Structure formats: structure tokens, C-alpha cells
């Protein structure tokens, strides 16, 4: 089994190189990235919690911040791999939302009867997308970032609906 390698593009922020096995059995390298990377961007990324995945002219990049909760790092990395490593052009702007819905199913299974843990995850992931949306709203605009922002807003809105549904269900159960 060959490992899909990540190139080094943030050498001073790379803490360690690790691997993750994707759902299809492919093994991917990724970097665990130190927190200062976000604030070193121009414009600065306000959150310390981020995931980096991209095709560059030098190769594929995959990384996640050390402040991303450890128990959910693999889920976030698999989201990026599913969405960006072999993107399906047919899905276009729905790719992120489509992967997010699969992610929520996976996390739901991991949480089982622990509905509080699941709600905490959805709330965390919503905040993550809110922060990414806020970043791209102030980042320099080009065709790629405009399209990306639209995708991210769809995912954020999906999480808002999902959280509200969970809260309504919890309210019904409590009442
Ligand atoms: Zn996504």
C-alpha cells in the first residue's frame, strides 16, 4: 500500500508528520501544525483550530492544528480527503455539504446514545465553519475563494439547521 504523501509548505509550523487511513484504505500523511500558523496568515486567521488541505503545483498538502480536539482530528482529516483529494466535479459546490452529511452520520454512530456528546460535536463543528466563513469574508477575493465561500456557507447553514433540530428534539424530550 503506497502512502499518499503531503508536501511541506509550513516548515516552521510542522510539529510532526503522521498518517491516517481513509475509508477506502488509502493511507495519507499529514502534518500536525502548531497554533501560530493561523495568525501568521495575511489576513490572520483568528482561530487556532483549522485544517489545511489543498492541491498545489508542488503536490498535495494535508495538515491539522494541534488545537483541533484530538478525538475529532481523524474525522476532520477524512472530511478534507473525501472532499478535496479526489474531488468529483459533478458535485461542484455541494461537495463540502455532501461530505459533511456523511461526517455527521459517522459521528452520530460514534456517539451512540450520548446525545450530549453529539450536540457538543455539532456545536463545535458549527463554530469551526463560522470561523472559516468569517475568514473568507475578509480574505482577498478571487474566483476560487468566492466559490469556496459559497460552499462553506452551505455547510455552515446545514450545521445551524442540524443544531436547531437537535435542540428542538432535546427540548421535546425534556418537556
Ligand atoms: Zn468541507
Last residue in a domain, options 87, 119, 146: 87
Same domain, 69 and 122: no
Side-chain-facing half-sphere of 153: CA atoms under 13 Å: 9
Burial class (CB in 10 A: 0-12, 13-18, 19+), 86: exposed
Determine the distance separating the centroid of ligand 1 and the alpha carbon of 108, expressed in angstroms: 18
Last residue in a domain, options 54, 87, 120: 87
Determine the distance separating the centroid of ligand 1 and the alpha carbon of 94, expressed in angstroms: 9
pTM above 0.85, yes or no: yes
Same domain, 165 and 120: yes
Last residue in a domain, options 37, 66, 87: 87
Determine the distance separating the centroid of ligand 1 and the alpha carbon of 84, expressed in angstroms: 8
Same domain, 77 and 111: no
Determine the distance separating the centroid of ligand 1 and the alpha carbon of 25, expressed in angstroms: 20
Same domain, 97 and 32: no
Determine the distance separating the centroid of ligand 1 and the alpha carbon of 171, expressed in angstroms: 29
Same domain, 55 and 2: yes
Distance CA 128, CA 106 (A): 18
Q: What is the pLDDT of residues 86-100, one digit of tens each?
A: 876 665 678 899 999
Q: What is the pLDDT of residues 61-115, one digit of tens each?
A: 999 999 999 999 999 999 999 999 987 666 567 889 999 999 999 999 999 999 9
Same domain, 98 and 130: yes
Same domain, 76 and 118: no
Q: Is the dihedral of CA 110, 113, 115, 120 positive or negative?
A: negative
What is the total count of domains within the chain? Answer: 2
Determine the distance separating the centroid of ligand 1 and the alpha carbon of 67, expressed in angstroms: 19
Amino acid at each position: 500500500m503506497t502512502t499518499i504523501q503531503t508536501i511541506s509548505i509550513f516548515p516552521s509550523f510542522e510539529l510532526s508528520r503522521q498518517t491516517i487511513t481513509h475509508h477506502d484504505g488509502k493511507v495519507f500523511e499529514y502534518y500536525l501544525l502548531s497554533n501560530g500558523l493561523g495568525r501568521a496568515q495575511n489576513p490572520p486567521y483568528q482561530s487556532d483550530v483549522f485544517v489545511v488541505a489543498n492541491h498545489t503545483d508542488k503536490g498535495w498538502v494535508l495538515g491539522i492544528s494541534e488545537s483541533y480536539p484530538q478525538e475529532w482530528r481523524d474525522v476532520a482529516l477524512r472530511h478534507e480527503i473525501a472532499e478535496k483529494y479526489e474531488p468529483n466535479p459533478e458535485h461542484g459546490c455541494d461537495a463540502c455539504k455532501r461530505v459533511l452529511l456523511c461526517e455527521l452520520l459517522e459521528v452520530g454512530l460514534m456517539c451512540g446514545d450520548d446525545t450530549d456528546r453529539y450536540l457538543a460535536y455539532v456545536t463545535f463543528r458549527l463554530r469551526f465553519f463560522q470561523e472559516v466563513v468569517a475568514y473568507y469574508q475578509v480574505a482577498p477575493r478571487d474566483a476560487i475563494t468566492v466559490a469556496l465561500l459559497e460552499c462553506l456557507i452551505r455547510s455552515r447553514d446545514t450545521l445551524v439547521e442540524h443544531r436547531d433540530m437537535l435542540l428542538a428534539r432535546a427540548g421535546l424530550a425534556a418537556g
